[in-house]
Amino acid sequence: MTVMTKMKAFATAAGFAATLMVGGASMASAEEVTLTMAVPDWPPTRIMKKFFDEQYKPKSGNTVKLDVDFIPWPDFYTRVNASLTSGEQKYNFIVSDSQWLGAFVEGGYFRKINDLLEADPDFMATFKSIHPNPLNAYSTYPHKSENYYGFPQFPDVLVNFARADILCHEEEQKNFQAKYGKKLPCTGEELDAMTWDDFRNVGEFFMRKKGDMLAGKPAEDDFYGIAYQAGKGYDFSSMQINGFIWQMGGNTWDETQAPKGQAEGVVNSPEAVKALEKYLDMIQFMPPVAKTGTMDIFKSDELFREGKVAMNIDWIGLGEASLDPKTSKVSDKLVFGQMPGTMGPDGKMIRWSNIGGQPFVLTTWTTDAQIKEAVEFVKWWLSPEIQHQFAAGGGQSAIKSVYEDPKYVTYRPWNRAWAPQLDWQKDVWHVPQFFELLTQQQDQFDLAITGKQDAKTTLDNIAKFQQNLLKEAGLIE
Amino acid sequence: MSNLSDLLEKLGLARKGGVDNAGWGRTLVVAIVSFIYFLPVLMIIFTAFKPQDAALSVPPTLSPTSLFGLIPDQYVFTPTLENFGSVFSRVMTAGGQPEPTGFDRFFFNSIVISSVSVLLALVIGTLASYGFSRYPLKGNDTYLFIILTTRMLPAIVVIIPVILMFRVVGLSGSYLGIIMLYTAFNLAFTIWMMKSFFDELSTDVEDAARIDGSSETKVFFKICLPQVVAGLAATFVFGLILTWNEFLFALLLTGVDTRTVPVAMNQAVSSGGRGTDWTLLASIETLFLIPVFLVTFFLQGHLLRGVTFGTVKR
Amino acid sequence: MTVRTSPTPISFFAPSADNWKLAIFVGVIATLLATLALPAAAAFWVVGVAAALIAAAFVVNAYRRRYYGGLLVAPAIAVLFVMNIFPLLWSLGLSFFAYQSNQQSIRFVGLQNYVKVLTNDLAAEANWYALINTAMFVVFTVSAQMIVGFLLAMLFAKQFPLRRYLLILVLTPMMLSVVASGVFFTYYYDPTFGILSYVMNNLTGQQFILMDNKVGAVAGIVFADAWMWSPFVMLLVLAGLVSVPKYLYEAAAIDRVSAWRQFWTITFPYIRGLLMLALLFRTIEAFKLADLVILLTKGGNDTMTISYHLIRIANEQNKTSEGAAISYVMLFMVIVLTNLYLYLANRRSQGT
């Protein structure tokens, strides 16, 4: 028996056995339905499970169990990817980064939900009450098409974490005014009004050596002005750089224009190069770890919580720890604002930013009985009442009626920056080639961040690679 | 007096004189080297006892005690046991109650899976290595080399077929599956290691026993095996250490109920919506270290006894 | 060596339990029929039963004819075949196809994947670059481990008070999980919080960043890896050292043989086999170095290794066939290298 036939027989056997097993399972459990779910292990998913266990009562009268596999974040993709691609068919629900949609839809693992939406007007209404930007990011493939897949689990945006105790200090205010002729931002509204140039000034202004005066006291340790993600891992620089590029009039490869949209000439446009240069220019005002290429979203957050920087741009998802006195040395001294923007020629602020957070999706092998319960569960999860509770427990909601409720901003201090920023969220690369695009881009950005390559060369390399890869894939003509 | 010296000797605190006894002078040198070598581990263990806000303090805190004023206060932290509690039960959601983390189960799984698979590999592997050593097959070296090649590729290469196979035969997420996999994972090393020990033995004694009418089974159990106890101990320890800390197979092939500690440990690397929870990671690692540490410590005597019968081939 | 009874030849068609030739014949026929006629899931089980039948015939045959070697080795081979060799063959097979694990199509392409990973101007460059880095890591980490491990073993070779307690301290690093030690090394090396930068800053008065250049990053990774695995080498060498009969040293002392000659003529022959084993296994492991790189640098500062590259290709990007081809190129190199070791080892042992 050759390896090839063996392999084929084996693969078919696997598929067949899988069908048998899943089929059998659904028949046996007409009364009791178990939904298995793969989720990253962190508070938003823990809350979901908690609410389900405590509050969820299925309308069908069936006993519904939510079997949640909490997988540590660093290995989440590896585990999910291996489970899906090996045909393990283990999970009914999967929490997925929005950019994984393309690969897993094309692989035949994620289930299209248009039929479910059309069959259930309630469900459709709930679904359409999600803000269009997160909806497009979390649910559509091809991006911005009418094919829907996911529901928001934890929607997320980048916000500005800032140290009120230092920013509002009288002396610092005075010195900053004297040096830059502008008021040092101190309140949430003032943070909202910041441009990247202001952000840079804050960075430059707050570079202090150990023993220098900082907010009226000698600094106990070296202090740095600013931080944002500039790490080589996963998407820990692209998510920030994309915002810079979009705000300053450049663009990333636009998948919605495929196959007409180009990478070469777009990705490395002069505007994009200028944006990247601006991004790189600020790294000098960050803690030294940025020079090693390991300043990821967690490191900058840690430095902020340890009181080493004045401002940090990071995901809301990491915010909870900075408010907890157990994990944060600055828990009572914080103010939050929108991520800085770029002043447009018309005097209006441009605030494009890359959306974060995760949707959860249904898998294709989920049986009809399970799907019925799953839809009920999703409707319940997205209902305003539960979404309010979720937000009160530290989650975020993309449901219009929820985040527009005046109560919403009282849940967490960063919530005031939530609704206005939703309108400015974009997303990239739902295509199956996502990981290749990302890896190469992160490698190139890392070279620029660690000072081995200038912005122009970096973007030229990225554009050339994307052009080749996407042409081969038929996504660029 | 002799009782005292016996006792000291038993405790390893003193040794009878002889050509190979280097005395306290050597102890001093080795103690300094060992301490320096151990420092990074010690820092992890200390971190397990640090209050959360001292984990990243600058300057780094280095000691739970000032050693009677020897260490300046800024390097001293106040030890706490709180972190060990939070390994097993802690608050998972903002404002929530402490919840069990399931780590008792993970520890249990790690112990069962590692010990069973390493023992199994030791039994199967020792038999095989004895076979390879005493009854060479045609193409013996080729077989041995093929066995070695199973260790040469990163686990990622074989993982997809294994997942598929497990799914088909229903081993996915079961103890049996991961134990079989780890057994195979340990075999290459066990066979090569034990074979080199068997090869070192002189066959004179065995042949003499055979001439006296001992059965092959008796030769193996009564003559060969006792001579390679050191090898068995070393192989067991190495196998245990490798299996104990194996990560990728465990991540992809265990279910919620059979998950092992190395997989769950990453909870602390990206912990609850932030980066590394240093004190939690350190306490998990410290607890996780104890079983292998003890096993190694108790097998150490065997590790160092060497080949006892003095029948080494020259 | 035992005396073997010469096997009596058995007729091919005799339905005897030890007739392995017939078993193979029946097994192959059954397999062929099953794969052609039956649904795949059933065929899978038929193939399994056929394989078991053949194996059983082999075992009975070996037992009846007193092939102890075969009998003793069989269980190990069986476990290895199912859990390791079969998956390896599978991925070897895949390396001749165009296949991505997240797509349904599969197509035979012969050697194209190998051509691509070795010569394609987009894909090959990264592979060669990662291979060269890997070679560098193998040389640095393995030699550091061999040297440090050997020196530590020499320290512990003699009896001295408290030896047990000191030895376990040195053995502890290899008991740590790689994740924990890797993550803690990022802390030790961290320019803001870490002890290394703290000490260096105070000594030089300047901000010290270890990992911002290639030399520092490689040194950081090599140090962490060598620190973890030198005890492995040490323990193996030590096992050899303690087995040297004392009378040899006593005789040498009477003959006033120099320490250097004592080492080469008495000690070294006893530890050579174990040193070789340590070298072999550490080299194999060093080729697979990925965890520490991922934790410490993510492959930045020119520290990409082939194993990490493979994880990216085969796992992250799901380019299964290309990954399989890379891994077999890698396997080929490891085999050449280890064979070279074994050849040299055998030649030397025959020479002495």
pLDDT band of B311, cuts 50, 70, 90: very low
The minimum CA-CA distance between B72 and chain A, rounded to whole Å, is 16
The CATH number of the domain covering residues in A31-157+356-426: 3.40.190.10
Across chain B, mean pLDDT equals: 85
Question: Is 70 exceeded by the pLDDT of residue A17?
Answer: no
Contact across the interface for B128 and C330, Cβ inside 8 Å: no
Q: How far apart are the first and last CA of chain B?
A: 41
Q: What is the pLDDT of residue C107?
A: 80
Minimum mean pLDDT among A6-20, C25-39, C93-107, C193-207: which range?
A6-20
Q: What is the pLDDT of residue C37?
A: 66
**Mean of pLDDT values over A201-215:** 93
**pLDDT band for position C244 (cuts 50, 70, 90):** confident
Percent with pLDDT over 90 in chain B: 37
CA-to-CA distance for B99 and C64, rounded, in angstroms?
60
Instruction: Tally helices (H) and strands (E) across chain B.
Output: 14, 2
Residues from chain B contacting residue A302 (CB–CB below 8 Å): 56, 274-276
**Percentage of chain B with pLDDT > 70?**
90
Identify the closest residue of chain C to B11 by CA–CA distance: C162
Cβ-based contacts of C180 with chain A (< 8 Å): none
At C4, the pLDDT band (50, 70, 90 cuts) reads very low
pLDDT tier at A387 (50, 70, 90 boundaries)? very high
CA–CA distance, A185 with A180 (Å, rounded to integer) = 12
Instruction: Inform me whether the pLDDT recorded for C100 exceeds 60.
Output: yes
pLDDT at res. A424: 95
Domain boundaries, chain A: 31-157+356-426, 159-354+432-472
Q: What would the mean pLDDT of A141-167 be, rounded to a whole number? A: 93
Q: Which chains pack against B, by 3+ Cβ pairs within 8 A?
A: A, C
Of C41, C298, A302, A359, nearest in space to B271 by CA: A302
Return the minimum-mean-pLDDT range out of A11-15, B5-9, C130-134, C242-246. A11-15
CA A191, chain centre distance (Å): 21
pLDDT one-digit tens code per residue, B121-142 = 999 999 999 999 888 877 888 8
Q: Which of A338-352, B35-49, C150-164 has the lowest mean pLDDT?
A: C150-164
Give the pLDDT band (50/70/90) at residue B313.
very low
User: Is residue C43 predicted with pLDDT exceeding 90?
Assistant: no
Q: Which of the residues B5, B38, B153 would you substitute to probe the C interface, choosing the one with the greatest number of C C-beta atoms within 10 Å?
A: B153
Residues of chain C with Cβ-Cβ distance to B130 below 8 Å are 72
Answer whether B285 touches C (CB < 8 Å).
Answer: yes
Task: Return the HEC string of chain A.
Answer: CCHHHHHHHHHHHHHHHHHHHHHHHHHHCCCEEEEEEEEECCHHHHHHHHHHHHHCCCCCCCEEEEEEEEECHHHHHHHHHHHHHCCCCCCCEEECCHHHHHHHHHCCCECCCHHHHHHCHHHHHHHHCECHHHHHHHHECCCCCCCECEEEEEEECEEEEEEHHHHCCHHHHHHHHHHHCCCCCCCHHHHHCCEHHHHHHHHHHCCECCCCEECCEECCCCEEEEECCEECCCCCCHHHHHHHHHHCCCCCCCHHHCCCCCCCCCCCCHHHHHHHHHHHHHHHHCCHHHHHCEECHHHHHHHHHCCCEEEEEEEHHHCHHHHCCCCCCCCCCEEEEECCEEECCCCCEECCEECEEEEEEEECCCCHHHHHHHHHHHHHHCCHHHHHHHHHCCCCCCEHHHHCCCCHHHHCHHHHHHHHHHCCEECCCCCCCHHHHHHHHHHHHHHHHCCCCCHHHHHHHHHHHHHHHHHHCCCCC
Q: Which residue from B23, B35, B276 is facing C183, i.e. has the nearest CB?
A: B276
Structure confidence by residue, pLDDT tens digits, B18-70 = 445 678 888 999 999 999 999 999 999 999 999 988 889 888 888 888 888 88
Optimal mutation site among A1, A106, A294, interface C, most CBs of chain C within 10 A? A294
Kindly report the nearest CA distance between residue B229 and chain A, in angstroms: 39
Q: Which B residues in the span 157-186 are in contact with A, Cβ-Cβ below 8 Å?
A: 159-161, 163-165, 167-168, 172
What burial class does residue B67 get, using C-beta atoms within 10 Å of its C-beta: 0-12 exposed, 13-18 middle, 19+ buried? exposed
Domains of chain C are 20-94 (no CATH), 116-351 (1.10.3720.10)
Most confident of A253-262, A271-280, B261-270, C44-53: A271-280
Q: A31-157+356-426 and A159-354+432-472: same fold? A: yes
Degrees to nearest 5, angle at CA A264 with A262 and A269? 105
Q: Taking residues B180-193, report their average pLDDT.
A: 92
Domain A159-354+432-472: assigned CATH number: 3.40.190.10
**Phi and psi dihedrals of C107, rounded to 5?**
-145, 135
Q: How far is the C-alpha of C90 from the C-alpha of C93, rounded, in Å? A: 5
Is C188 in CB contact (< 8 Å) with chain B?
A: yes
Quick check: A17 and A47 in contact, CB under 8 A? no
Summarize pLDDT for C194-233 with one digit per residue, the tens.
Answer: 999 999 999 998 899 999 999 999 999 999 999 999 999 9
- For A22, nearest residue in chain B (alpha carbons): B167
| Contact pairs from chain A to chain B, CB under 8 Å | 111
Most confident of the following: A51-60, A235-244, B192-201: A235-244
Distance of alpha carbon C31 from alpha carbon A158, whole angstroms: 59
Residue B103's pLDDT is 93
The whole-angstrom separation of Cα B243 and Cα B113 is 9
- Is the pLDDT score of B170 beyond 80? no
Question: Which of C90, C215, C298 should one mutate to test binding to chain A, selecting the residue with the greatest count of A CBs within 10 A?
Answer: C298
Of A303-317, B265-279, C54-68, highest mean pLDDT: A303-317
- What pLDDT is attached to residue A86? 79
**Contact C239/B234, CB-based, under 8 Å?**
yes
CATH 1.10.3720.10 in chain B, residue ranges: 103-305
Q: What is the mean pLDDT of residues A303-321?
A: 94
Q: Can you give the pLDDT at residue A25?
A: 45
Range with the poorest average pLDDT among B224-238, B267-281, C90-104, C171-185: C90-104
How far is the C-alpha of A245 from the C-alpha of A227, rounded, in Å? 18
Pick the CATH number of B103-305 from 3.40.50.720, 1.10.3720.10, 1.10.1660.10, 1.10.645.10: 1.10.3720.10
Write phi, then psi, for A341 (nearest 5 degrees).
Answer: -120, -170
- Distance in angstroms (rounded) separating the CA atoms of residues B151 and B153: 6
Residue C256 CA, distance from chain mean position: 42
B to C CB pairs, distance under 8 Å = 311
User: What ipTM goes with this model?
Assistant: 0.88
- The 10s digit of each residue's pLDDT in C263-293 is 888 888 878 888 888 899 999 999 999 999 9
**Residue from B157, B178, B189 whose CB has the most chain C CBs within 10 Å, to mutate:** B157
Give mean pLDDT, residues A78-85. Answer: 88
pLDDT at position A6: 45
Taking only the tens place, the pLDDT of each residue in A396-452 is 999 999 999 999 999 999 999 999 999 999 999 999 999 999 999 999 999 999 999
Q: Which residues of C touch B299 (CB under 8 A)?
A: none
Q: What is the pLDDT of residue A448?
A: 96
- Predicted pLDDT at B11: 55
The pair of three-digit structure tokens given for residue A56, joined into one six-digit string: 């969820």
Structure tokens at B12: 């390893």
Whether residue B94 is predicted with pLDDT greater than 50 in this model: the reply is yes
Amino acid identity for residue B8 in this structure: L
pLDDT, residue A289, reads 94
A91 → chain B, closest CA residue: B255
The answer to whether residue C7 scores a pLDDT higher than 70 is no
Residue B97 tokens, joined: 């109650």
The answer to whether the Cβ–Cβ distance between B273 and A72 falls below 8 Å is: no
What is the pLDDT at residue C71? 81
Q: What is the pLDDT of residue A307?
A: 93
The structure tokens listed for B197 are 């020990």
